[in-house]
Structure 1
Amino acid sequence: MERGPEEVVLRAVRLPEGMSGLFDRIEAFGPARLGCGDASCRIEVDARWRRVPAPARRLALVAADAPQHSPARLEADPRHWARGFALEILSPRGAVWRRLQFHDARGQTVLTLEWRAPVPPLAWERLLACGTEGLAWAAPTGFEALPAARGDVDPAWRQGCDIEALHQILHEARQQRLALQAEVGGEAARLQVGFMPEQVALCMRRRRLTVQGEALVWQLDEMRLAGLELVGHASARGLHQRLELGGPGGERLARLGPAGSADRGDPCGWRLALQQVLS
């Protein structure tokens, strides 16, 4: 989440290096809105986040109170973070929000955690005491896509799709009550989240797609979407088909598929939705 036009930063504290240690007691701050992605493709999830074990020098958070059909997991590499801030923000309605915001070397926001309800004041002040206060604050400007996430097995095949196919598949999933899984982000921070689409809306003038699920908002700027492909993998466990959304530099902005099918083939509802839209 970038700073909104009507938000006022009341306080900005630059966080020190080794910032991942700040997440050890993150659950004590209460439910937070976690945002991952960039200006072209971003997902925000409201949950009570908890740190879980991860490989050395990496960070993993899970939504501790997520519904069974909507698991959410963040995996991040703080070595790709150039700076982080703890912010106190005056909202448009006069409330004070608190936010942790992390940027890469290009100034792009790669991860935010925002508390709109009051947090334990002593814990928050201890967190602020770790940083440096009084630095001039300026929200990141411009746009540069996150680096591609390319650690996957080469697909058996790829099929180009029209952007309208994405709209139709999301509408089919909403009508069927089909659980989906989306993945956004890059090497600095990557979020996987399951959800059932409840609302799918497209702003025709700005070509901005908004998908809402339970405690989730996914926003996609279609003006920055360079390509959409259906990617297929075949294995002894069955066929896996995913939609991959590509950016102008060839990077992957997002991946969309059915939820909970990693250890078996795609569910019938997902295969039927693809067949109806793409055949």
Structure 2
Amino acid sequence: MDPFDAALDLLRRLPPSSTQQNLNGIIALRPDLEEDLLSSVDVALTSKRCTKTGRDFLCCDYNRDDSSYRSPWSNEFEPPIEAEAAADLIPGGRIRRMEESLNAGVDVYRELYYEGGISSAYLWALEEGFAGVVLFKKTSSAGGSAGKGGWDSIHVLEVSEAAGKRSAHYKLTSTVILDLGLSSSTVDSLELAGNLTRQTESDLGLTHSGSRESDIEQSHVVNIGRMVEDMETRMRNLLQEVYFGKAKDVVGDLRSIQPLSEVGRERDAHKEVISKMGR
């Protein structure tokens, strides 16, 4: 079996909450797989503080060069890298302008929907169009010292502009990593962790006012923001309704609040109503 496929298969079978630790162990055993694994395995995001602006930013494989990470606020790598490498990895021109606008937008979104946490957005040029990633991270201990929670969103996007720049094709791949835990004398230790990935594509129009490139750039930022917001809402509802709803149903079947005989009668009555409506 191919070592890379074997490593991915192993990580899928191990606890999701320990993915980072297990990934580090596999890389220590097979350093030659490091680049491929880091670009293929989603792990909880880490953060650093931009020494130039004093603002926190998120680290991922898309703003990394070896052990250095580029800050979206200063557009510089920390720690600094060689000038030749930086020239190829640090965006400029329209890509940097869109990146700055996108970071401002997702920062407002983060405050509205997360009420805290950290957000970062990174863009880079492609031969045709551009690509990027939008990141969100929030950790919480709202349940006291015994409870913890972590939410990490990774939205990878690819944008292809049509001829004349009247419209663009957007491809968005989103991953949410959720990690919940509770430890107390009542329940001992309880942990729920995992990730959910969804993908969507869309063709959207661009505002075009003559030769004003700024209008097109702003249209890209607005379109990306709407797609990310819609995707996050869908995935949030999916986690709430499907996964937590299913867990609630299982617990209800094991130990109901009301007698299970009554629950059974209610289900039978519900089925009877549905069947009559079908007829």
Q: Which has the higher contact order (CA 8 A, sep 6+)?
A: 1
Higher strand share: 1
TM-score, normalised with respect to structure 1: 0.26
Answer with 1 or 2: which has the greater Rg.
2
